[in-house]
Amino acid sequence: MSLDFTEVAVSNVARHYGRRKALSQVSFACSAGEVVGLLGPNGAGKSTLLSILATLVEPSAGEVTYGGYRAAAAGAAVRARVGLLGHDLYLYPELSARENLAFFARLYGLPDVDARVQRGLEYANLVDRADDQVLGFSRGMRQRLALERALVHGPRLLLLDEPFTGLDQSSAAALVGRLRGLQDDGCLIIAATHDLDVAEGLLTRVLFLRQGRIVSAEEGGLGLRTRYQLAMRAS
Amino acid sequence: MRKYTHILLGAALLVFALAPVLIHRAPYESTMGLVQKIFYFHLPGALMMLFIALFAGVMSGIFLFTKKPWADHYALAAAEQVVLFGAMTLVTGPLWARKAWGVWWEWDARLTSSLLLWMIFIAYLLLRRFGGPGSDKLGAGMALFALANVPFIYVSVNYWRTLHPKTTVVPNLVPPMAGPMWWAFAGFVLMSLVLFALRVQQEEQRARVEALYLAANEG
Amino acid sequence: MTAFFRVAWLIFRKDLAVEARSWELVSTTVFFSVACLLVFSFALINEGQAVGDVAAGILWVAIAFSGTLALGRTFERERQTDTLRALMLAPADRPALYVGKLLGILFLMLLTEVILVPLVALFFQAPIVDWPLHLAALLLAGTLGYAAVGTLFAAMLVRARSRDVMLPILLYPITVPVIIAGVRGTAALFQETPDAALAQFWLALLVFFDVVFVTLALWTFEPVMTE
């Protein structure tokens, strides 16, 4: 079960649903310590790419390797090292914050469940609401809890789909701080986001996606917003 | 249309053209009268339905575990033929029942089993039609369950019926009747092969159009 | 192997915990099954007298219909915040997820039957206490067979379009043997001189069905669930 990797390589990955093409010929590689941003308009294929990286969706062509292992071959062992914060938050609204975290910690077969859950609640700043149903939480609180849910097993690869949605400025700043900490711990983070201003300082690298392709991946010195506009116009 | 499809089609037409002659020459069955001739249509149709249903189940299994597109094309084509031959069986069955038992529908074990199998494959086609993306895989799961279900349907319906026994008129198959029956069966097999060839070809072409469409979008 | 059952048990416990907060599934399923019972009673009871051995039939129709409702709702819950994907993402054996969901459905359906069966006894003077073990075994085996097929179909339909319509369309034709065996077996126990041997025959068929379809579902769950 124990498998680890420090880099993820995507080569020539394509995915289509019938005639609708979600991704085509996407290739890139990244390694631990990087925070890669996936930027692009709605329908650019960001979520599909994250689902493929999370091994939830199989690519129609091409492959993803996790430090040399293919998801199809390594299966559960790769899944044990991946955390995904999806667009839907993957939380049971009827359960409390604590129960949600504890359920997933146990599902992953982790030791010291209580300690982990407590730590997660502290990071999410939800200790005093820990035993309330998620049903009553605001979007921001859910978002913070969902992030800790995705991190409960200490994944190597963290995939984030619009992590800043519904966060106010201080929560967003806290999230940036949390992600920086993970980055320093050797986590490989790939985040799809619209929030250019917040992402600006955090991302070490940016991939611009448009209509399922990577249109630009250079690391120019210009500001993120300018580069985004250039990339979208160029294609 | 490929060459062998023409040959198959020609053979099928020849067999069908000769079938009425053979059926006409077969002995006249006294209790059932002319209606007995339905038998040359009914039994081969039912046999075809069963065999093709088994084939659809096997192809679906292959598709589910190997993801080979051709297996799905065969499974889909087979499911459509199950519905086709099932319709033949279920139209001719009641005609037989009317004469043999005096009612249009009799909960006869085999006829009821055929009806259920037919329903399962209609459900399969509905799923393929309305299930949206990914319904090929779901359909394959469904067809595999249908395959495993055939013996259960037969046993349960059979025992459900025989608890209230009823005399049935089953014609004993004298050799002069068996000949035309198998002749008609051969005709159905040929027709089925023609339909398979055409339908699978059509599915392959559809897949190619999809691929070309995707490739054209590439530029 | 222990990990397999640990995961299945964990999911079952989670479903119970969720249900204990809202009681939505239990209350709606029980109410619906009783409503079914009444509707069919009005259709099939003439001048206060039930037609033939109709009690067993009504019981199983109510079980099947309310079971469909429960299946649909259970997976709608996993779809709402896409938690089914989170389950699929866990490094657990995927068939264990199936077993966990199956246990939840089975529990819910059996709970409904605990209320439904006495009501059938009350309405139709059905002798449910004469052969209690036979009856319980028939109900358990039949429900397991129905739920085994239903759980797989409901799970795989989570991503499909028009899933609410598709579930009964796919489920009913496939589970006809369960219904026939359940109804005939129960009817054999309900008739004036109960026929335990006949009930045992149908029970054997149900057990055989359960073995085949649970195995098949475990075997196909992973391939039908991967996108």
H-assigned helices in B102-174: 109-130, 135-162
pLDDT at res. C147: 97
Spatial distance between the Cα atoms of A60 and A63, rounded to a whole number of angstroms:
9
pLDDT at res. B39: 82
The letter for the amino acid at B142 is M
Burial label, B31 (beta-carbon count in 10 A; 0-12, 13-18, 19+):
exposed
CA B194 to centroid of chain Cα atoms: 14
CB atoms C91 and A109 under 8 Å? yes
C226 touches chain A (CB under 8 A): yes
Q: At a CB cut-off of 8 Å and minimum separation 6, what does B157 contact?
A: B109, B112, B113, B116, C180
Of C185, C200, C207, C194, the closest CA to residue C59 belongs to C185
A66 touches chain C (CB under 8 A): no
Q: What is the pLDDT along chain C (227 residues), one digit of tens a residue?
A: 689 999 999 999 999 999 999 899 999 999 999 999 999 988 888 777 777 778 999 999 999 999 999 999 999 999 988 999 999 999 999 999 999 999 999 999 999 999 999 999 998 888 888 889 999 999 999 999 999 999 999 999 998 888 889 999 999 999 999 999 999 999 999 988 888 999 999 999 999 999 999 999 999 999 998 87
A19 touches chain B (CB under 8 A): yes
CB atoms A16 and B214 under 8 Å? yes
The sign of the torsion formed by the CA atoms of A90, A95, A99, A102 equals: negative
Spatial distance between the Cα atoms of B140 and B124, rounded to a whole number of angstroms:
9
Query: Domain A1-81+156-235 - what CATH class?
Result: alpha beta
pLDDT at res. B174: 63
Query: How sure is the predictor about A76, in pLDDT bands with cuts at 50, 70 and 90?
Result: confident
Residue ranges of the domains in chain A? Answer: 1-81+156-235, 92-154
Which residues of C are less than 8 Å from B137 in CB distance?
A: 156, 223-224
**Cβ-nearest to C81 among A1, A57, A93:** A93
Taking each helix axis from N to C end, the angle separating C2-22 and C94-124, rounded to the nearest 10 degrees, works out to 50
Is the pLDDT reported for residue B166 higher than 50?
Answer: no
User: Nearest 5 degrees, angle CA B173-CA B178-CA B181?
Assistant: 115
Is the pLDDT reported for residue A72 higher than 80?
Answer: no
Helices (H) and strands (E) in chain C, counts: 9, 2
- C-alpha torsion angle, residues C41, C43, C47, C51 (rounded to 10): -80
ipTM, 2 dp: 0.91
Is the pLDDT reported for residue A126 higher than 80?
Answer: yes
The domains located in chain B, with CATH, are: 3-218 (1.20.120)
Which residues of A are less than 8 Å from C90 in CB distance?
A: 79, 104, 107-108
CB atoms A86 and C85 under 8 Å? yes
pLDDT at res. B133: 78
**Cβ-nearest to A57 among C11, C92, C227:** C227
DSSP bridge partners of A96? A133
Residue ranges of the domains in chain C? Answer: 2-225
Which residues of C are less than 8 Å from B140 in CB distance?
A: 224
Q: At a CB cut-off of 8 Å and minimum separation 6, what does A42 contact?
A: none
Per residue in B176-210, pLDDT (tens digit) is: 777 888 888 999 999 999 999 999 999 999 888 88
| Phi and psi angles of residue B73, each rounded to the nearest 5 degrees, phi first | -60, -45
